[in-house]
Structures are given as C-alpha cells and as structure tokens.
Amino acid sequence: MRKLGIIGLIFSMIFNSCVKELEYPNNQSLESNVALHAFLNPDSIDVIQLSKVVNITEDIVGINNANIELLNLSSGDKTIMVHKTDGAYNGNITIAQNDVLSLTVNWNNIQYTAQTYVPVKPILDTVSSKLNFVGSIGFTRVFNFTLKDIAASTDYYRLYLITQKVVYTLDANSEVIDSSIVWEKSSISGDEIGFIRNSYNNYTTKELLFSDESFNGLTTSLEFYLTKPENETNSRLIQHRIVVENLPIELFDYYNSRNAHLWQQSSITQSPTPLRGNIPNMYGVFAAYNLTDYILSY
C-alpha cells in the first residue's frame, strides 16, 4: 500500500506540473467591436447598418448614437446620415459611375474611415431563354445573354435570377381554390469558364460570382441554367428578371467569403471562412455597386 501511495504521489506531481489553468474571459471583459454594412447604388436610397458585434447566442444590437458622414470626393456632395430605426441610418447623396466615395464614422470616441468607388453600369443585350437538356438535371430553362465588358478596367460581377410566378392552391380533387403571386431568388448554375474559375461558386446556388479575366475586354456571350427541371404543376411562370451587378473588389471578396462562411457554418466538421471587409479596425464592408437587369416575360 505504501508503494502505491508513493506512485500516486509521483503521478500527481507530474500531472500538476503539466497543467496550467487559463482564465476564460466573461462577457463583460470581451473586447467591444463594431460592424458596418453599406452597399450603395446610384439608383437607390443610401442605407447604412451599424451594430455591435455580439456573441452567437445574443441578439444583434444596433448602434443608434453614431455620427456618420458620406462624401462624394468626385463631386464634393456630402450628406450626414440620419438614424431611422435600430442601427439603420439613411442619407441622400448623388453618385454616378467612377465616383470615389468616402465614409467617416464617429462612435464611442473612435473614428473609422474607408473609401470605395462606383463601378460602371453593366451592359446586357441579346438576352434569351429556352428549355434544354442539361446533364443530370434534365430538361430545364437555359438563359443566354451577352455582356459587354470594358477593357480599360478589371470588373467583378454578381449574377442572380428573380422568378415571378403564380402559385395555385389545390383541393383534394386537384381543383384550384386559391392563388398568390410569388417572387423568389432561383437556384442557378453554369458551366462557362467565367463561372467555374471562381471556386467560391461551389458554396451557393443563388448567385454566380465571376470576374472579367477571361473576357479580355471583348463582348462575351454567357449561359446559365436553373438547377431543377421546369415542370411544376401547381404554378404558372410570369417572368424572369436577370440581374447583373458590377462590384468593386472588396464587395466581390465579401460576397465570396460570406457564401463560404454560411455553407461551412452549417457543417459540424468545417470551420467557417472569415468574412472579408475593407474598413480598418471595424468589421463589415463599405462599397458601391452598379447593376442592370433584363426582364423576360412569358
């Protein structure tokens, strides 16, 4: 028994010499951080979302007492953003393609600044759609459009499809008893080199993100398709709205990292990709974009 006691004492000394207890900071001692999202467009009202960064189990808390200023460095136009709802600020500033914009945020005795530019408006023509056979999907709707790229700049694009349809409610005898109009962001994919060069497109089906590195400034025809057969019996298609956005690199990187982050967050075996931003000492993105759309009615 005495030998066992000595052995136990030796193991206890070894174990205690290898273990170091570290204090885990509680919620009160965590560093307070700020997140801002501002996606500006020449054809929309300026809205900026500002909030505190909280733990995953806590509700998002908007910051309502910040001073936010937007300045168009190209025209000299300036606006002071006005707080409207929880963490949301509205403003009114005229912006156009190629303008350079500046953001200044003052909150909690700290100043944050960032800059962005407004990309040129994309140009689409010869847009069409048809039913065709695609790989393992079967007969589905395929879209073809021509994008006029500008050789003088490196452009980054975001493509998505909005579907409008009438959805019918049927009774037990398959008779229509009600209907409603629905707008939805459709699931799409594509085999064009511009799409498949961006590996982040593997993380989402709701949009395609691509750059013009394969265009060489030429007018390029691109094709994409719905990822399911178009054979719904309880709905009637009204129209498709093809939307193409031209993005600055910081917004392109944010959308890519966001899609990867959301996909990996749903998997217990994956560590979510960090979201990319462009505001020093702050989370989030300050960016502008320009878009064009094309409506196909049926």
Report domain extents, the chain. Answer: 27-117, 124-274+290-297
pLDDT digits (tens, 9 = 90+) for 165-196: 999 988 888 888 898 999 999 999 999 999 99
- Average pLDDT on 84-112 reads 95
More confident residue, 148 or 11: 148
Pairwise pLDDT comparison (40 vs 266), residue with the higher score: 40
Please determine, for residue 289, whether its predicted confidence score (pLDDT) is greater than 60: yes
Q: In Å, what is the CA distance from 31 to each residue of 47, 114, 192?
A: 27, 22, 45
Q: pLDDT digit string (tens) for 138-156?
A: 999 999 999 987 777 789 9
Of 155, 278, 292, 250, the C-alpha closest to 210 is: 155
- Predicted pLDDT of residue 11: 45
Q: Is the pLDDT of residue 258 over 70?
A: yes
Residue 272 has pLDDT above 90, yes or no: no
Q: What pLDDT sits at residue 26? A: 47
Cβ 282 vs Cβ 112: under 8 Å? yes
Mean pLDDT computed over 58-84: 94
Average pLDDT (129-146) is 93
The pLDDT value given to residue 94: 94
Mean predicted confidence (pLDDT) in 49-76:
91
pLDDT mean over 67-94: 96
User: Residue 229's pLDDT is what?
Assistant: 84
Q: What is the largest CA-CA distance in the chain?
A: 92
**What is the model's pLDDT at position 5?**
53
Mean pLDDT, the chain, rounded, equals 87
- % of the chain exceeding 90 in pLDDT: 65
Instruction: Tell me if 141 sits within 8 A of 232, measured CB to CB.
Output: no
> Would you state the structure tokens that stand for residue 226, as one six-digit string?
């719905």
Sheet containing 188-189: which strands, arranged edge to edge?
124-134, 138-148, 219-226, 188-189
pLDDT at 19 exceeding the cut of 50: no
Residue 241 pLDDT grade (very low, low, confident, very high; cuts 50, 70, 90): very high
Specify the pLDDT at position 160.
98
What pLDDT score does 8 carry? 52
What average pLDDT does the segment 227-252 reach? 91
User: Two tokens at 247?
Assistant: 């993005």
What mean pLDDT comes out for the span 43-70?
90
CA-based angle 257:92:43, to the nearest 5?
60
pTM of this structure: 0.83
The residues near 99 (Cβ < 8 Å, ≥ 6 apart) are 72, 73, 74, 75, 117, 118, 288
Location of structure tokens 């999907």:
137
Return the minimum-mean-pLDDT range out of 176-180, 208-212, 232-236: 232-236
What pLDDT is recorded for position 60?
83
CATH 2.60.40 describes domain 27-117: yes
164 vs 59, 125, 244, CA distance in Å?
33, 21, 17
